[in-house]
Every structure is written in structure tokens, then in C-alpha cells.
Amino acid sequence: MSTPLSTTDPLVGLGWTAELASSIGPDESDLLPARVAASHGIAVTLWTREGVRNGPLAAALSEPPAVGDWVLARAPDLAGDWAVQRLLPRRTQFVRHASGQETRAQVIAANIDRVLVATGLDGDFNHRRLERYLLALATSGAATTLVLTKADQCSDVASYRRQAEALAPTVVVSARTGEGMDALRALIPAGSTVALVGSSGVGKSTLVNALMGGERASTGAVRSFDNKGRHTTTHREMFVVPGAGVVVDTPGMRGLEPWADDGTLAALDAMFQEVSEAALGCRFTDCDHMTSPDCAVRDGVRAGTLAPERVRSWVTLRDELNQQAVLRAERAAKLALKAKKGRRG
């Protein structure tokens, strides 16, 4: 049974739990828990019981910590830095396929209770992009809410709200007028952690500033202005919202490719249930639903029972996940062969 935590422990408000405390081994009594507030490659910014500290990473870490991770650190050295020694188990995580040619997972945020997917009502709304986010988050373990920003710049909010609500729970906000901000704040209760994601320019940083009651202090991540003079986030970083929980602000994502883990294909079929069920009627099990003969999916499109844009999304995402699985298998085979040759040598 987990030992109850002290209500005066400052880490509790940052998401520290009895379960995390119980994962500390008896031989780790000299290490102290901390939460990763920002990552800088070979070092991280940590939230500790003593305040904000820098933390260089030990070479023996199983993987680099992500923003939101809980770690054990040795503190402090002569420079006052906390050397990160071990990554504690993650409760939830938002993972995507890393950008670039290499087939690997990238953890966007860890130990999050909810992900707020922001999209602007100033011309940014993209149904297909939202489907990608929802698929990427389907196996994260976190709840998902769509946040329609810049409501004051849209003359047809009701239409976009209906489209979004057909996909996931939705709130409509305007940081400028304050519309919907109370509903947004209610999604970030004290002790919880919420990640805010979306494309560049949708107003994520503006929302965080509004939640914080003004321009907030950075945890150390680099910030810059884009070519339109907008304040943009260039690193993931966390902030404590006064009277509420923790928010992870993330850089805008130009593209999002979901990571194909064990449950992603099943989640895809559940998201597009009418299409995946129709595909069971195809003559061939490897039907591509584009040119293969006797395709029940194309029959459904012709009959008007399947929406062509939903079919295209399902086919595109399914093909991406399958191709990713092939590349990962090829990479694993190459690594196994290399290891085998190394043992012989």
C-alpha cells in the first residue's frame, strides 16, 4: 500500500503521487525526486522541492527525459546542479513519429492528464489535421479536448463547433475577449498536468499568458519571434497556472505523423468505424481500397453511405502506419544482424 503524501509537499501540486514515491528503491534514498520542466539536450530544467534547478543528464539513462517526466537526481554538486540519475515510470505519454528520415518515437510530453489540441478559427481549422492529432493521442492514456481559439475572429463559430464536437469534446475560446477561458481553466484542476499542442500561430502561447494572468516567466527555454512578429515557443516548457494545475506549452508542429504502437491501428479503425467495417466486405484482405477490384469501401462511396473524405483519411493514415511498421521491422533486423556480427568478431 502506498504511503499517503504530505499535503504540504510542494511537489504534490506539481503532480507528485504516492505511486511515484513508491517506485523509489531502498538503495536510492540519497536521490531526490524532481520534475522535468524544460529540456535542453544534454541537460534539463528541474522543478524540485527547493525550487527551479539545472540538471545535467547521467550517461547511463535509459532514454532522454521528456518534459513532464519525473526523475531522481543527486543534489547538489559544487555548481548547485542536480545530476539526473534515473527516469521514473511514466503514467501517460504523448508520442509521435519523430520528424526526419529516422524511424523512431518522440515523446512530446509525459505524465499528462489531458491534451488540449488548439486550432484557430482565423482560417487554421483543418479537419484532417485534427484527425491526425486524435489518432496520435488515442493510445496516450490522456484525455483529449479540442480548443477552438480566436473565436472573436470568426463569423461562423457554431458551424466549426459542430464539426469539432463530432470528433471530440470541444471548448471555444478567445484570449482577447475572455470568452470560454473559465471553461478552459476548469480543464486544468490543481494537481493535474495538461499539454497544449497545435500548429504555429493558433495562439497557444497567448492562451498560456491569459491563464497565467499576463506574460509569464520562462523556465529557461528559448523563445523567439516569427516573421510576423508573433511570440513563438521554440522548446517545450511547463508553467504552473495560479490556482490551477500545470500546463505544458509546446512549439507549433508543422506536421504530425502518429507513432504506430500496438494499439494505433485498432484506434484508427475505431475512429473510422464505418469505413473499417465496410472494408471487411472487400473481396481481398490486402485490398488497397483505391484500385483493387470488388472493393466494398469504394462501393460504399458510390452508394453514398461512406464519405469520400473520411475514406481518404482512413486509407492515408492506415498506409502510413503500415509503412512505418515495415521500416521499423527492417531497422530491427539490421540492428540484430549488426549485433550478431559483433558477437562473432
State whether 186 and 269 are in the same domain.
no
State whether 223 and 290 are in the same domain.
no
Report the first-to-last Cα separation within the chain, whole angstroms: 49
Percentage of residues in the chain with pLDDT exceeding 70?
Answer: 90
The number of angstroms, rounded, from the C-alpha of 318 to the middle of its chain's C-alpha atoms is 20
Confidence (pTM): 0.86
pLDDT score of 230: 39
pLDDT score of 289: 95
pLDDT tens for residues 146-173? 999 999 999 999 999 999 999 999 999 9
Note whether residue 139 is domain-resident: yes
Averaged pLDDT for residues 277-290: 96
| Among the listed residues 94, 96, 91, the one whose alpha carbon sits nearest the alpha carbon of residue 70 | 91
Alpha helices in 203-243 (DSSP H): 204-212
State whether 118 and 29 are in the same domain.
no
Domain C-terminal end among 33, 66, 87: 87
Number of Cβ within 10 Å of residue 199's Cβ equals: 19
Residues with Cβ within 8 Å of residue 286, at least 6 apart in sequence: 292
Note whether residue 175 is domain-resident: yes
Note whether residue 97 is domain-resident: yes
State whether 67 and 184 are in the same domain.
no
Q: Is the pLDDT of residue 288 over 80?
A: yes
Note whether residue 2 is domain-resident: no
Domain carrying residue 51: 12-87
CA dihedral sign of residues 58, 61, 65, 69 = negative
- Give me 262's grid cell: 500496438
CATH number at residue 277: 1.10.40.50
CA dihedral sign of residues 82, 89, 196, 178 = negative
State whether 99 and 242 are in the same domain.
yes
Averaged pLDDT for residues 260-264: 86
State whether 76 and 149 are in the same domain.
no
In which residue are the cell numbers 492528464 written? Answer: 113
Number of Cβ within 10 Å of residue 143's Cβ equals: 17
CATH number at residue 119: 3.40.50.300
Per the document, the length of the chain is 345
Please state, in angstroms and as integers, the Cα–Cα distance from residue 306 to each residue in 104, 145, 168, 266, 270, following that order.
Answer: 34, 26, 20, 19, 15
- Going by pLDDT thresholds of 50, 70 and 90, the confidence category of residue 20 is very high
Note whether residue 207 is domain-resident: yes
- Coil, strand or helix at 106: strand
CB distance 181 to 235 below 8 Å: no
Q: Is the pLDDT of residue 293 over 80?
A: yes
Q: Is the pLDDT of residue 24 over 70?
A: yes
Note whether residue 5 is domain-resident: no
State whether 34 and 178 are in the same domain.
no
pLDDT tens for residues 186-240? 999 999 999 999 988 888 889 999 999 875 544 333 343 333 433 444 467 899 9
Note whether residue 291 is domain-resident: yes
pLDDT score of 2: 52
Domain C-terminal end among 249, 276, 309: 249
User: Parallel, antiparallel, or unpaired for β 43-48 and 51-56?
Assistant: antiparallel
State whether 68 and 136 are in the same domain.
no
Note whether residue 152 is domain-resident: yes
pLDDT score of 215: 54
State whether 147 and 28 are in the same domain.
no
User: Parallel, antiparallel, or unpaired for β 105-110 and 93-97?
Assistant: antiparallel
Q: How many domains does the chain have?
A: 3
The CA distance from 106 to 63, in Å, is 11
Percentage of residues in the chain with pLDDT exceeding 90?
Answer: 63
- Going by pLDDT thresholds of 50, 70 and 90, the confidence category of residue 345 is low
State whether 154 and 225 are in the same domain.
yes
pLDDT score of 273: 97
State whether 64 and 207 are in the same domain.
no
Q: What share of the chain is helix, strand, coil (3-state, %, to 5)?
A: 30, 25, 45
Averaged pLDDT for residues 43-54: 90
State whether 237 and 142 are in the same domain.
yes
